[in-house]
Amino acid sequence: MAKKYFFIAMAVIIMAIFGLTGCVNVADSEKKDIIVVGFSQVGSESSWRVANSESMKKALCEEEGFELIFDDAKQKQENQYKAIRNFIQQQVDYIVLAPITENGWDDVLKEAKQAGIPVIIVDRQVDVSDDSLYINWVGSDFLQEGKMATEWLEGELEERGRENDEINILHVRGTNGATAQIFRTKGLQDAVDEHINWNIVSVLDGEYTEALAYEVTKEYLEKIQDTGETIDVIYSENDNMTFGVLKALDEAGIEYGGEDGIIIISFDAVRSSLERCLVGDINLCVECNPLHGPRVANLIRSIEAGNTPSKRSYVSDTYFSYDSITHEVIDERAY
């Protein structure tokens, strides 16, 4: 009788072991199906950047077959180096990088390549000696954005009968060395070179933040208040900087926007910027779509399926002017 109970007990134990083993194998199998992505983000310096982060988190979530390891670099490139090396140690399947500036990436991206981890660049670009260090870049054509802005400005000045007037442009620049800064600046400079009556009276560094743009603009306006210098156009390389600029103009009692004030050109076209365009505070909002998450997710799925992506994936952008924007456009805005 004792033997009978012994064998029954052993059978139960063996069945339990196999049952547990089976559960572990299922869990392992499920885990293997999850694609682990490490994402090094610039920071949260602007509304655009926040929308970009949320898009990535939503698209690269567990429900979509991903595990996202998100790192906020707080606008320090050394933090991005550290994050990428941590991703390598964690043996992630893919690394996604939104670089702060274009330069300084060769060494850490070589480490990722040696570890066999594909790297996808989003938004800003990287300037590396070997472009095989990353497999794809996803982002906007920033030079085209600059061209759209200056071509619109040319047409606006013609409509106002000012195409032959001296046009003084205050340029509020983003983070020096960032791709958007480089090409939006080039778009403006190319147009100035083509128009002998267009002058850049000053370049202010706003670092893509509202607070700094406000400070440098306020200081500049105080500097010129007794000189008789005038400003016809302000070319601000992102919306948050534009908000700082407008605050400084308000405090100085300077009229802007509409048909009679300083022409305000802004980039990104987030919802709050479009709202100010609708009331005429901003004359032109040039779009820069931040919703890269679905594009990156689809790109990874394509690579997993054995496809080879093109080196660059451009996002289509447009612009909105104060005399054509509608409530419907703003209501449909996802960011």
pLDDT of residue 31 exceeding 70, the answer is no
Distance, CA of 290 to CA of 237 (rounded, Å): 15
257, 237, 228, 239: which is closest to 189 by C-alpha?
237
62 and 195 belong to one structural domain? no
119 and 265 belong to one structural domain? no
Q: What is the largest CA-CA distance in the chain?
A: 110
What tens digit of pLDDT does each residue of 230-239 get? 999 999 999 9
Confidence at residue 45, expressed as pLDDT on a 0 to 100 scale: 86
249 and 182 belong to one structural domain? yes
CB atoms within 10 A of CB 301: 14
179 and 325 belong to one structural domain? yes
Q: Classify residue 33 by burial, with Cβ atoms within 10 Å: 0-12, 13-18, 19+.
A: exposed
Q: Classify residue 264 by burial, with Cβ atoms within 10 Å: 0-12, 13-18, 19+.
A: buried
Distance, CA of 57 to CA of 242 (rounded, Å): 27
Confidence at residue 30, expressed as pLDDT on a 0 to 100 scale: 47
CATH number for the domain that contains residue 226? 3.40.50.2300
Distance, CA of 158 to CA of 203 (rounded, Å): 25
Confidence at residue 20, expressed as pLDDT on a 0 to 100 scale: 35
Q: pLDDT band for position 228 (50/70/90)?
A: confident
78 and 193 belong to one structural domain? no
Q: Read off the pLDDT of each residue in 310-334 and give the average, rounded to a whole number.
A: 93
E-only strand ranges, the chain: 35-41, 66-72, 94-97, 119-122, 136-140, 167-173, 198-205, 233-236, 263-268, 284-287, 312-315, 319-321
User: How many structural domains are present in the chain?
Assistant: 3
Distance, CA of 220 to CA of 101 (rounded, Å): 26
Domain ranges, residue 85: 32-138+292-314
Q: Classify residue 108 by burial, with Cβ atoms within 10 Å: 0-12, 13-18, 19+.
A: buried
197 and 244 belong to one structural domain? yes
Q: Read off the pLDDT of each residue in 301-319 and give the average, rounded to a whole number.
A: 93
Name the helix (H) or strand (E) containing 227: none
What tens digit of pLDDT does each residue of 196-212 get? 999 999 999 999 999 99
Confidence at residue 11, expressed as pLDDT on a 0 to 100 scale: 44
98 and 129 belong to one structural domain? yes
